[in-house]
Amino acid sequence: MKRRIRMGMVGGGPGAFIGGVHRVAARFDGQIELVCGVFSQDEAKNKSMADELFLPVEKCYPDYKTMIEKESMLPEGERMDFLSITTPNNTHFDIAMAALDHGFHVVCEKPMTLNSEQAKKLQAKVKETGLVFVLMHNYSAYPMIRQMRKMIASGVLGDLRKIVASYDLGWLAAPNAGKQAVWRTNPKFSGIAACVGDIGTHAEQLIEFTTGLKIAELSADLATFVEGRTLDDDATIMLRMNNGSKGVIELSEVACGEENQFKLRVYGSLGCLEWSQQTPENLCLKTNDAPMKVLRRGWAGMDDDVKGMVRLPAGHPEGFLEAFANIYADFTKAFLAYKEGKVYDGCYPTVEDGVREMVFIEKVVESSKKNGAWTKL
């Protein structure tokens, strides 16, 4: 296919954070271009964003239904190829279903839907259409996380025994935390959980992604520290994994002073691997019989598949944007394989991960309401 892949977007208007990240990341490798969008429900803001992005006026649509309908009537090569969804949680399902119904592939922000019922319907639709659906769990696309996954699968840690994930931020410590907080803490837009849905799903997905294990049972304690807030802003979750190992997920969005402190430690019978989002180029290997090793992104021993995710030489930092770009690179490979009647054998987050995270959220809330009762997934 001798042209760029054509992207449409819903969301990401003036003042939005994650939509802008998606647009930058999608363009990283020069294979994707933004061709149309609905950026805001406010007409003036919608047009303002389109102007800023140099989109023709006819490619700035008033709503996603109009965009999907009109784009689907255009010939291939002129219409969008896929839709990127960067709106609040409560809209993901309807937009994704409409896109798939009209033959468009989808890249969707997490959490995938508002509840597990919607998630399972979306899973069935993806299976029915055979279209590519990518869930934006960007942390799973850091090179050293992919290296961690490869090393654990190779047995370097031995039998896995304990997994500890912590994700702490301080941005919701005050009652009035800005525009992003308004919808993220509102059950109408966010669903039944705030902190757990926002950052807990990252921890759940990364644990299962890196270890290859599944969470079998959990015991959860949710808290809401800010007066007047209806959803959780802090959580502690104990885990029982399907191989008998144990785990803990510690979450807080009211941890004053923390910026975006996401850490993952996996312990086995032979050693430990540790990764931190704030120093993402490092992967620490610890054992009882040798000094700690700090493996760096770009080092000669990286797995060949992981090397393909690296854009810059060692010492030239890569981070958050590049991780998003790696998910879009996975989408590109899957899309091109689809066009050739093939299946891309990658390890990017899919609709199955989306179903898994929605069940996780519901079971966490269920357990917490029962004073931390152990609850099966």
pLDDT higher than 90, residue 84: yes
Burial of 277 (0-12, 13-18, 19+ CB in 10 A): buried
Mean pLDDT of 192-204: 97
Q: Tell me if 324 sits within 8 A of 332, measured CB to CB.
A: no
Task: Tell me the percentage of the chain whose pLDDT exceeds 70.
Answer: 100
pLDDT higher than 80, residue 79: yes
Residue 336's SS3 state is helix
pLDDT in tens, 361-373: 999 999 999 999 9
Q: Tell me if 18 sits within 8 A of 26, measured CB to CB.
A: no
pLDDT at position 258 is 97
Which alpha helices (DSSP H) does the chain contain, by range? 18-27, 43-52, 64-72, 89-101, 116-129, 143-154, 179-184, 187-190, 195, 201-211, 304-307, 320-339, 351-369
Q: Tell me if 9 sits within 8 A of 37, measured CB to CB.
A: yes
Q: What is the DSSP string of 257-273?
A: T-SSEEEEEEEESS-EE
Average pLDDT, the chain: 96
The answer for residues whose C-beta is within 8 angstroms of residue 257's C-beta and 6 or more apart is 170
pLDDT at position 310 is 95
pLDDT at position 90 is 96
Domains of the chain: 5-139+326-350 (3.40.50.720), 142-314+356-376 (3.30.360.10)
Mean pLDDT of 40-67: 97
13: confidence class by pLDDT, cuts 50, 70, 90? very high
**For the packed helices 351-369 and 201-211, what is the interaxial angle rounded to 10 degrees?**
120
Helices (H) and strands (E) in the chain, counts: 13, 14
d(CA 2, CA 120): 36
Query: Which residues on neighbouring strands pair with residue 296, listed in sequence order?
Result: 282
pLDDT at position 160 is 98
Greater pLDDT, 180 or 214: 214
pLDDT higher than 80, residue 178: no
pLDDT at position 140 is 98
pLDDT higher than 90, residue 296: yes
pLDDT higher than 90, residue 179: no
pLDDT at position 243 is 98
45: confidence class by pLDDT, cuts 50, 70, 90? very high
pLDDT at position 183 is 84
pLDDT higher than 80, residue 105: yes
Mean pLDDT of 24-44: 97
Mean pLDDT of 96-124: 98
Which amino acid does the sequence have at 258? E
pLDDT higher than 90, residue 181: no
pLDDT in tens, 298-331: 999 999 999 999 999 999 999 999 999 999 999 9
34: confidence class by pLDDT, cuts 50, 70, 90? very high
2: confidence class by pLDDT, cuts 50, 70, 90? confident
pLDDT at position 108 is 98
pLDDT at position 177 is 77
Mean pLDDT of 122-147: 98
